[in-house]
Amino acid sequence: MKECFKHHPWQIIEEGFNPHYNKIAESVFSLGNGRMGQRANFEEAYSGETLQGSYVAGVYYPDKTRVGWWKNGYPEYFAKVLNAPSWIGIKFNIAGQSLDLAQCRVDEFKRILDMQTGLLSRSFKATLPDGKQVHVHAQRFCSMAKDEIGAIRYAITPVNFSDSVTITIDVDADVQNMDSNYDEKFWDEVSKSAVEGECIVTAQTKKTFFHVATGMRYRIVQGGDELKASVKTLLREKYAGNEVTVNFTAGKEIVIYKYAAVLSSENHPKEKIAEHCRQVLDDAMATGYDQLYADHVKVWEHKWNECDITIDGDVAAQQGIRFNIFQLSQTYTGEDERLNIGPKGFTGEKYGGSTYWDTEAYCLPFYLGTAEQKVARNLLVYRYKHLAKAIENGKKLGFTDGAALYPMVTINGEECHNEWEITFEEIHRNGAIAYAIYDYIRYTGDQEYLVEYGLEVLIGISRFWAQRVNWSDDKKKYVMLGVTGPNEYENNVNNNWYTNYIATWTLQYTREALDYVRGKNPSAFQLLLDRIQFSDKEAQVWKHITENMYFPQDSSRGIFLQQDGFLDKQLMKVTDLRPEDRPLNQKWSWDRILRSCFIKQADVLQGLYFFEDQFDIDTVKRNFDFYEPMTVHESSLSPCVHSILAAKLGYEEKAYEMYLRTARLDLDDYNNDTEDGCHITSMAGTWLSVIKGFAGMRLKNGELHFNPFIPRQWKSYSFRIEFRQRVLKIKVTGSRMEALLVSGEPLTIHFKGTSHTLNENQVIEQPL
Ligand code: BGC
């Protein structure tokens, strides 16, 4: 664990320049707006350690797969989010020297991410090799109001010299991914232009032929007036810039306003994209930096009004939770159903920017509770639109008749993952997609979703499960062989309890959904059945499977077994491990991990979390007490599920310990990997730890129930939650809990079993 950043309730603050931590800071200070994202790379040239990252949502490259031993069914490629053309460059040449923080003495360095306003600021004093000093104060944001615009205000003051200085302001598509299987560059040039004051480069991705137009305009101002400058245009392959020569006068600040427009052919016709880029630049210039910023801040203000969590008495926890909410809100805005949430969001290349089960299992409840309904709905529609590809994916693996296997990793619906034990076997992800439909409908009450989209997806998934199980003559039960559960530290196991459970649950839920749609909208129902050739016989088979599924368990301990044979393992606790053996995935051979009892992330407990109403509290407790001590939490998705279950069981200290591991995971670089990017999807888990964990929020029969406690380290906490067109504010202190209906129709809620009906602006309270 590192302490790179100062604690503050609304800001992330880095003081002093530490090149060693630069990549961590680049991740943490990343900005985005759902449409584009930018790591906190410097505007100036930087020759030190850096991971350059500009990202455009939905734009990817299919990098040809590289594997040791090819297996039938592997995908040909891994879709990768691209390091896109850079729009941030403002480079200085001062008396033949580049302003490059790796080559200068750097003093008074400070970087601040203001989460309330989505503004990144950086200031420093740099002493160049010849002793010339400049003072810089740079600010930038990716506009949340106009999501194709990025803006920079770069103020530079020569401290001890006057001289003519060359400033290169550019857009650069000659960029590369760090993660490239064959070291290729993924962009080709389509067109470029550079005139005085404006540059546009249109580049296209190889193979996928996405076009991205990146343009910039700028103003250079001194003392409120436009500064006279001589400008030379620069054009080379995939690059356009302006070389501006200005006179620096000691003590006099020069401000460069750079406006960038980033447009993708996902949203603009290719033949018009450069022209549209110019129009967006015109708009940005006409609006001006201050107004663009004011509009951007207004969107953040609205967002925070919907979803803030306050924690009184613990600044580190306050900063941690806001950082998680901030990152999630700038990663996915729900504006576009073609987009999703990569595990690293817009903060790095790892995981290819692709969609995992993380979205359905972890992120969906966050967006349900913090944004208008369409945001979560669009996450579901994304999978609906990929149904045909999921059926194709099933077919590739030998499944028939419309059986859908959703990919483990995808951008466009095709499977990208190519480790057989995950691609072919980690099929529980299919269940999470079904569960998300259930979760969305029960939270929003939008049953219509089943008619329009949901049922068809459920049928495809159920068809897969029905073919994936087989009847065991020996057990006289259905079994599921050769799977990998959520715990990826076990592969190719038989009867993973969680997978068997979620498969059975899906079959049952799909049958209920069939009945619902049949009754609600018979004509839509019939149309669907005819289109996908569904017969009731299938549902009969599903019923038989549901009633006769095998679930491994140990009756003497009263627990479910993670899979057949789990008890043959040498059972140990994480506390028995030597510190130098951790993390296991970096210190142990893979076969040793597989043979050990140690668990990467919630597995049986994931099932008890999803389906808690189906188990009594003692069952949850016995399983938690058995599995948690063996869990190493080497997936960032793990601690939050444990925190929620611990809270439910009254293990308050454990709940808090697990919460801390998730809340400041990236801020404190807990897993030593923040430099690759932030753990965006697990951030939703942090939010869940507060809402479902500490506040004990549950939905029962369409009404919200709260069963809160307060960690003893906190004085009070409060949060806002969106629920069925209302905003509700809940506050918990050491002695009482209170609820305010901020907006919307009257709402009945339950505090520790007591029900209250709230009108708009009404507050109710109850002792804790
Ligand atoms: C976890 C998976 C998760 C993936 C992406 C892996 O380490 O085991 O459950 O989907 O990371 O976050």
Residue 461 Cα, ligand 1 centroid: separation in angstroms? 21
Give the residue extent of every domain in the chain. Answer: 11-67+75-304, 334-694, 695-768
Task: List residues near ligand 1 (CB under 6 A).
Answer: 343, 351, 356-358, 486, 488, 600-601, 635, 637, 681
Three-class SS of 439-502: HHHHHHCCCHHHHHHHHHHHHHHHHHHHHHCEEECCCCEEECCCECCCCCCCCCECCCHHHHHH
Q: Supply the residue whose CA is at minimum distance from atom 11 of ligand 1.
A: 635
Q: Looking at 43, 488, 628, 634, which residue is catalytic? A: 488
Architecture of the domain made up of 334-694: Alpha/alpha barrel (1.50)
Q: What are phi and psi of 115, to 5 degrees?
A: -75, -25
Residue 359 Cα, ligand 1 centroid: separation in angstroms? 11
Which has the closest alpha carbon to 739: 701, 766, 699, 715?
A: 766
Burial class (CB in 10 A: 0-12, 13-18, 19+), 6: middle
Sign (positive or negative) of CA dihedral 519, 522, 528, 534? positive
Orientation angle between helical segments 497-520 and 522-532, nearest 10 degrees: 130
The mean predicted confidence, pLDDT, of the chain is 96
Residue 232's pLDDT is what? 98
pLDDT at 3 exceeding the cut of 70: yes
Task: Give the atom of ligand 1 at the shortest distance from the alpha carbon of 429.
Answer: 10
- Whether 165 and 49 have beta carbons less than 8 Å apart is answered as no
Residue 580 Cα, ligand 1 centroid: separation in angstroms? 24
Residue range 572-630, pLDDT digits in tens: 999 999 999 999 999 999 999 999 999 999 999 999 999 999 999 999 999 999 999 99
Residue 207 Cα, ligand 1 centroid: separation in angstroms? 28
Which of the 8 DSSP states describes residue 120? E
How far, rounded to the nearest angstrom, does the alpha carbon of residue 409 sit from its chain's CA centroid? 14
Residue 685 Cα, ligand 1 centroid: separation in angstroms? 13
Alpha carbons within 13 A on the beta-carbon side of 518: 10
Residue 635 Cα, ligand 1 centroid: separation in angstroms? 6
Task: Give the atom of ligand 1 at the shortest distance from the alpha carbon of 600.
Answer: 8
Residue 2's pLDDT is what? 74
Beta strands at 553-554 and 559-560: parallel, antiparallel or unpaired: antiparallel
Domain 11-67+75-304 fold is Beta-galactosidase; Chain A, domain 5 (2.70.98)
What share of the chain in percent tops pLDDT 70?
100
Mutate which of 347, 483, 637 to test ligand 1's pocket (most atoms within 8 Å of Cβ)? 637
Task: Spell out a b/e string for 246-269, using b for 16 or more CB atoms within 10 Å of the CB, else e.
Answer: bebeeeeebbbbbbbbbbbbbebe
Residue range 695-768 in CATH 3.40.50.720:
no
Residue 69's pLDDT is what? 84
Residue range 5-54, pLDDT digits in tens: 999 999 999 999 999 999 999 999 999 999 999 999 999 999 999 999 99
Residue range 506-525, pLDDT digits in tens: 999 999 999 999 999 999 99
- Arithmetic mean of pLDDT, 159-170: 98
- Arithmetic mean of pLDDT, 422-427: 97
Q: Supply the residue whose CA is at minimum distance from atom 9 of ligand 1.
A: 486
pLDDT band at 495 (very low <50, low <70, confident <90, very high): very high
pLDDT at 672 exceeding the cut of 90: no
Q: Supply the residue whose CA is at minimum distance from atom 7 of ligand 1.
A: 635
Residue 261's pLDDT is what? 98
Mutate which of 349, 356, 430, 489 to test ligand 1's pocket (most atoms within 8 Å of Cβ)? 356
Dist. CA 433–CA 390, nearest whole Å: 12
Alpha-helical runs (H) found in 603-679? 604-610, 617-627, 638-649, 652-663
Counts of helices then strands in the chain (DSSP H, E): 22, 33
Q: How many CB atoms lie within 10 A of CB 410?
A: 24
Residue range 102-158, pLDDT digits in tens: 999 999 999 999 999 999 999 999 999 999 999 999 999 999 999 999 999 999 999
pLDDT at 1 exceeding the cut of 70: no
pLDDT band at 78 (very low <50, low <70, confident <90, very high): confident
Dist. CA 349–CA 285, nearest whole Å: 31
Write out the two tokens for 622.
């016995």
Dist. CA 367–CA 34, nearest whole Å: 13
Mutate which of 488, 490, 634, 640 to test ligand 1's pocket (most atoms within 8 Å of Cβ)? 488
Beta bridge partners of 241: 170, 234
Amino acid making up residue 265: S
Residue 300 Cα, ligand 1 centroid: separation in angstroms? 30
488 is catalytic: yes
Task: Give the atom of ligand 1 at the shortest distance from the alpha carbon of 488.
Answer: 8
Orientation angle between helical segments 315-331 and 289-307, nearest 10 degrees: 110
- Arithmetic mean of pLDDT, 359-388: 97
Burial class (CB in 10 A: 0-12, 13-18, 19+), 765: middle
- Could you give the dihedral angle defined by the CA atoms of residues 479, 482, 483 and 487, in that order, rounded to the nearest 10 degrees? 110
Residue range 437-493, pLDDT digits in tens: 999 999 999 999 999 999 999 999 999 999 999 999 999 999 999 999 999 999 999
Task: Give the atom of ligand 1 at the shortest distance from the alpha carbon of 634.
Answer: 7
**104 contacts: CB under 8 Å, gap ≥ 6:** 126, 127, 128, 129
Alpha carbons within 13 A on the beta-carbon side of 341: 33
Residue range 234-291, pLDDT digits in tens: 999 999 999 999 999 999 999 999 999 999 999 999 999 999 999 999 999 999 999 9
Task: Give the atom of ligand 1 at the shortest distance from the alpha carbon of 356.
Answer: 10
Q: Supply the residue whose CA is at minimum distance from atom 12 of ligand 1.
A: 343
What share of the chain in percent tops pLDDT 90?
94
Beta bridge partners of 198: 195, 217
pLDDT band at 705 (very low <50, low <70, confident <90, very high): very high
